Amino acid sequence: MVKCQWCGSNTAQETNNTVYWELPDGTKAIEIRETPSIHCPECGMTYQSDELVKEIEDQLFLIDTSKLEKSMTFETLMAVPRLLKRNYFDFSK
């Protein structure tokens, strides 16, 4: 069990879900299946952790998104080779 970030309930559970993500250049959105998520049965929210959101955003920023399929699994997306080793524009660290 995980604590829900939305309602504070301790009944949230880790799950996999389909999410839709806009590419950094804004040209289109893609479907990402089997994305690690958290679902809370108390409030009904399904969401991704802040860390996972950053991981997806960084990956989309560092790969050639023009070659992506419209739909793919999370694992497939994260396996796409990066053009840069890390996000040099992320100053949050």
Residues 74-86 have pLDDT tens digits of: 999 999 999 876 6
- Strand-pair partners of 29: 22
What's the token pair of residue 88? 């040099």
DSSP secondary structure string for all residues of 57-84: HHHHHHS-GGG--SEEEHHHHHHSPPSS
Mean pLDDT for the chain?
A: 92
Between CA 62 and CA 71, with CA 66 as vertex, the angle to 5 degrees is: 95
Specify whether the CB–CB gap between 31 and 18 falls below 8 A: yes
pLDDT digits 0-9 by tens, 40-75 = 999 999 999 999 999 999 999 999 999 999 999 999
